[in-house]
Amino acid sequence: MVENHAGLVRRYEKNPILTKEDIPYPVATVHNAGACKYQDRYILLFRSHRQNGRSIIGLAESVDGFSFVVHPKPFLEPATEGVFAEYEEYGVEDMRICPCEGEYLLTYSAYSRHGVRIGLARTQDFDKVERIAFISQPDMRNTVIFPRKFDGYYVRLDRPHSEINPWPICISYSPDLIHWGNSRVIMNPMKYHWDEMKIGPGAPPFLSEKGWIHIYHGVFQTMGGAVYRMGVALHDLDNPERIIGVADEWILEPDAPWERTGYVPNVVFSCGVVPEDDGTVKIYWGAADTVMCVGTASIADLADLCLTRAREPL
């Protein structure tokens, strides 16, 4: 394992763990995978650009979380009929696997001539997928659902866009997964800071002893283009809209050669984590929108960083 500059996230020494050569159908990239553990197997639902520039979702599985085998067929491609076809015409991207109350909720970006909105699907077995609904209007991306309900409500973090306050993280609630409301902005990008241009939910939140840990992405615009890094925030255990602390420093930035160059240079972007019983978490990220990587971190260290090196969330 090699330490990154902050030492919190340890990169797996055999990164990248998936490249387009591992995919048994023609694709240009494999990145931004949702992740979970299902029946003692690790599952990645990754995004791939087809050679027409539009994205689909593929499935890979592993027994150790590091060495993955890809299924022969894609997991989800744009729908061909009905309302889903209309809103998925340009592709499906960046799927999150949200384990919630005994099932796996899947959120993804659906692109079409109408913009980008969030699709919600579910699976019980990672074989059959049932699309449920679109749960946002355009333009919304990056939606993660907490692993449990709070006072009977599902809770999600998402990321809308407005000209007045571009790209903050919001929270909203739903009794039935379809109708969402009571939304509030709970976290903003910070001026002249590594996440000043935009922030967005990354992986579904997971538990630490101090609260829910949410790994998010932050973007900084430079003369050489945007740089995508990862940060961490700690949410209250019983009231997830209360952010206890956001770490002032990023936890991972593009550094390895395959993170610095590729389809989109200087990107590390996580859609999935797997918390383990030994107090560590496996963090999966897409590198330069081209390959998949993994690293590990101590869950307690991530929580501590949010408490000891905090900045204001709003």
By CB under 6 A, is residue 188 in contact with ligand BMA?
A: no
Nearest residue to ligand BMA on Cβ basis: 264
Residue 249 backbone dihedrals phi, psi, to 5 degrees? -100, 150
User: Of the two residues 139 and 304, which places its CB atom closer to ligand BMA in the complex?
Assistant: 139
Task: Tell me which of 79, 237, 264, 310 binds ligand BMA, using CB under 6 A.
Answer: 264
By CB under 6 A, is residue 46 in contact with ligand BMA?
A: no
Task: Tell me which of 108, 126, 180, 269 binds ligand BMA, using CB under 6 A.
Answer: 269
Quick one: which segment of 64-72, 262-270, 277-285, 302-310 binds ligand BMA (CB under 6 A)?
262-270
Euclidean distance between CA atoms 202 and 285, whole angstroms? 9
User: Of the two residues 211 and 218, which places its CB atom closer to ligand BMA in the complex?
Assistant: 218
Burial class (CB in 10 A: 0-12, 13-18, 19+), 198: buried
User: Of the two residues 156 and 229, which places its CB atom closer to ligand BMA in the complex?
Assistant: 229
By CB under 6 A, is residue 146 in contact with ligand BMA?
A: no
Contacts of 164 (CB under 8 A, 6+ apart): none
Contacts of 163 (CB under 8 A, 6+ apart): none
Task: Tell me which of 95, 105, 140, 267 binds ligand BMA, using CB under 6 A.
Answer: 267
Buried b (16+ CB within 10 A) or exposed e, 55-79: bbbbbbebeebeebebeeebbbbbb
By CB under 6 A, is residue 158 in contact with ligand BMA?
A: no
User: Of the two residues 47 and 131, which places its CB atom closer to ligand BMA in the complex?
Assistant: 47
Contact 278, 258 (CB under 8 A): no
Task: Tell me which of 120, 289, 291, 297 binds ligand BMA, using CB under 6 A.
Answer: 289
Q: Which of residues 18-37 bind ligand BMA (CB under 6 A)?
A: 32
Euclidean distance between CA atoms 199 and 204, whole angstroms? 15
Quick one: which segment of 34-42, 97-105, 154-162, 261-269 binds ligand BMA (CB under 6 A)?
261-269
User: Of the two residues 201 and 211, which places its CB atom closer to ligand BMA in the complex?
Assistant: 201
Euclidean distance between CA atoms 174 and 212, whole angstroms? 19
User: Of the two residues 93 and 158, which places its CB atom closer to ligand BMA in the complex?
Assistant: 93
Burial class (CB in 10 A: 0-12, 13-18, 19+), 217: buried
Q: How distant, in Å, are the alpha carbons of 172, 288, 302 from that of 135? A: 11, 28, 30
By CB under 6 A, is residue 228 in contact with ligand BMA?
A: yes
Give, as one character, the DSSP assignment of residue 65.
S
Task: Tell me which of 11, 45, 48, 93 binds ligand BMA, using CB under 6 A.
Answer: 93
Q: Which residues bind ligand BMA (CB under 6 A)?
A: 32, 93-94, 228, 264, 267, 269, 286, 289
